[in-house]
Amino acid sequence: MSRILVTEERCKGCLLCTTVCPVSIIRQSERINLQGYKVAEVRAEDMATCTGCTSCATICPDMAIEVWRGKKQKKAA
Protein backbone atom coordinates (compact mmCIF):
# COMPACT_ATOMS: atom_id res chain seq x y z
CA MET A 1 0.00 0.00 0.00
CA SER A 2 1.28 3.46 -0.87
CA ARG A 3 0.87 6.54 1.29
CA ILE A 4 0.55 10.22 0.34
CA LEU A 5 1.86 12.79 2.81
CA VAL A 6 0.98 16.46 2.40
CA THR A 7 3.08 19.03 4.27
CA GLU A 8 0.25 21.42 4.95
CA GLU A 9 2.40 24.46 5.65
CA ARG A 10 3.97 24.21 2.18
CA CYS A 11 0.67 23.62 0.35
CA LYS A 12 -0.85 26.67 -1.34
CA GLY A 13 -4.07 24.95 -2.35
CA CYS A 14 -3.46 25.10 -6.10
CA LEU A 15 -4.96 21.59 -6.41
CA LEU A 16 -2.83 20.62 -9.40
CA CYS A 17 -2.41 17.31 -7.58
CA THR A 18 -6.14 16.64 -7.85
CA THR A 19 -6.06 16.97 -11.63
CA VAL A 20 -3.34 14.35 -12.14
CA CYS A 21 -4.42 11.74 -9.60
CA PRO A 22 -5.55 8.71 -11.65
CA VAL A 23 -7.83 7.46 -8.86
CA SER A 24 -9.14 10.89 -7.74
CA ILE A 25 -8.43 10.48 -4.03
CA ILE A 26 -6.85 13.91 -3.42
CA ARG A 27 -9.31 16.60 -2.36
CA GLN A 28 -9.34 20.12 -0.99
CA SER A 29 -9.57 20.06 2.78
CA GLU A 30 -11.60 22.39 4.95
CA ARG A 31 -8.45 22.87 7.05
CA ILE A 32 -6.62 26.14 6.53
CA ASN A 33 -2.86 26.44 7.03
CA LEU A 34 -1.07 29.39 8.62
CA GLN A 35 -0.82 31.15 5.25
CA GLY A 36 -4.61 31.04 4.84
CA TYR A 37 -4.80 28.36 2.14
CA LYS A 38 -7.15 25.40 2.12
CA VAL A 39 -4.78 22.49 1.76
CA ALA A 40 -4.93 19.24 -0.20
CA GLU A 41 -5.74 16.05 1.66
CA VAL A 42 -6.22 12.33 1.23
CA ARG A 43 -8.65 10.70 3.61
CA ALA A 44 -7.43 7.63 5.47
CA GLU A 45 -10.17 5.46 4.00
CA ASP A 46 -9.07 6.42 0.46
CA MET A 47 -5.37 5.77 1.04
CA ALA A 48 -5.66 2.06 0.12
CA THR A 49 -6.69 3.14 -3.39
CA CYS A 50 -3.42 5.02 -4.01
CA THR A 51 -1.45 3.44 -6.86
CA GLY A 52 1.86 5.02 -5.84
CA CYS A 53 2.28 6.66 -9.25
CA THR A 54 3.84 9.84 -7.70
CA SER A 55 2.10 12.13 -10.22
CA CYS A 56 0.86 14.34 -7.40
CA ALA A 57 4.34 14.80 -5.94
CA THR A 58 5.85 15.40 -9.37
CA ILE A 59 3.41 18.16 -10.34
CA CYS A 60 3.36 19.95 -6.97
CA PRO A 61 5.14 23.31 -7.48
CA ASP A 62 5.74 23.71 -3.74
CA MET A 63 7.12 20.22 -3.07
CA ALA A 64 4.41 19.76 -0.45
CA ILE A 65 3.64 16.13 -1.34
CA GLU A 66 5.60 12.97 -0.69
CA VAL A 67 4.57 9.50 -1.81
CA TRP A 68 5.75 6.48 0.11
CA ARG A 69 5.40 3.27 -1.84
CA GLY A 70 4.60 0.13 0.04
CA LYS A 71 6.17 -3.18 -0.79
CA LYS A 72 4.21 -5.26 -3.24
CA GLN A 73 2.96 -8.46 -1.74
CA LYS A 74 3.57 -11.65 -3.62
CA LYS A 75 0.54 -13.64 -4.58
CA ALA A 76 0.30 -17.10 -3.09
CA ALA A 77 0.63 -19.85 -5.65
- Is the Cα torsion angle 18, 73, 69, 33 positive or negative in sign? positive
The whole-number pLDDT of residue 28 equals 97
Is 59:20 a contact under the CB 8 Å cutoff? yes
The domains located in the chain, with CATH, are 3-69 (3.30.70.20)
Q: If residue 31 lies in a helix (H) or strand (E), which one and from where to where?
A: strand 26-32
In a structure prediction context, what are the per-residue pLDDT tens digits for the chain, which is 77 residues long? 789 999 999 999 999 999 999 999 999 999 999 999 999 999 999 999 999 999 999 999 999 999 998 776 666 65
The whole-number pLDDT of residue 70 equals 77
List phi, psi (to 5°) of 47.
-60, -35
Which value, in Å, is the radius of gyration of the alpha carbons in the chain? 13
Q: How far is CA 51 from the centre of its chain?
A: 11
